[in-house]
């Protein structure tokens, strides 16, 4: 069953008024279809974006030499994508986001001010406004130990069988994830959660 906009909005306040909500898809469907959805959105961006080869970069964003940004992608105003970072599978950065050196995003949606700052992996996930991942933190998107397992998400007190084999996390506004922590597939972190350094969050166990 698809979560309501209000349920997702309890985690990410900007979600119900965003273009994502208008698509009427579950979070795991958004990430699964990220490339198609972001590719389709390129045509409706305002002239402040420079679009080349399926990658849109706002004129007030910085993509450093040595960053790899695979189409499709949308990088919003005041974002910074550092040298050595890698964006693939359809990525959307709203405004003021940071993707630091050695960080990889795969099919990820970042709301304003989210920072994936140093040597992180974020797969198939939605990150709320002001989220911060310290160095080495990982949001995993696939259960390597049980590759046929479908992701289960516990959201607003109810377990949801997503049917997806790949989904990372729904990360609420202002969440802080400590260095070298791991968020296992299918996590939903309420606003303001603090995950300690070296911590493990596995809500499906």
Active site residues: 118
The pair of structure tokens assigned to 192 is 């303001």
List 74's β-bridge partners, or say none: 56, 92
Residue 197, SS3?
Answer: coil
How many residues are listed for the chain in this entry?
Answer: 205
Q: Which two tokens stand for residue 152?
A: 């289960």
The 8-class DSSP code of residue 111 comes to -
H-assigned helices in 24-105: 27-32, 34-41
What angle is formed at CA 160 by the lines to CA 196 and CA 13, rounded to 5 degrees? Answer: 60
What are the Cα distances from residue 193, in Å, to 11, 47, 89, 143, 170? 10, 37, 27, 23, 12
DSSP state of 70: P
């Amino acid at each position: 069953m698809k979560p309501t906009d209000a349920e997702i909005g309890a985690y990410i306040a900007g979600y119900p008024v965003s273009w994502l909500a208008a698509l009427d898809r579950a979070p795991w469907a958004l990430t699964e279809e990220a490339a198609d959805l972001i590719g389709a959105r390129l045509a409706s961006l305002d002239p402040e974006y420079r679009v080349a080869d399926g990658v849109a970069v706002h004129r007030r964003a910085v993509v450093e030499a040595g960053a790899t940004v695979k189409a499709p992608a949308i990088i919003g105003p005041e974002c910074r994508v550092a040298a050595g970072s890698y964006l693939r599978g359809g990525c959307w950065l709203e405004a003021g986001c940071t993707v630091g050196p050695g960080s990889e995003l795969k099919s990820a949606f970042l709301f304003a001010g989210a920072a994936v700052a140093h040597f992180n992996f974020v797969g198939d996930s939605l990150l709320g406004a002001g989220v911060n991942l310290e160095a080495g933190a990982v949001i995993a998107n696939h259960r390597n130990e049980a590759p046929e397992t479908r992701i289960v998400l516990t959201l607003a007190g109810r377990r949801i069988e997503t049917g997806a084999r790949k989904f990372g996390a729904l990360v609420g506004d202002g969440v802080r994830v400590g260095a070298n922590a791991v968020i296992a597939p299918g996590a939903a972190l309420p606003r303001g959660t603090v995950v300690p350094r070296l911590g493990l969050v596995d809500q499906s166990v």
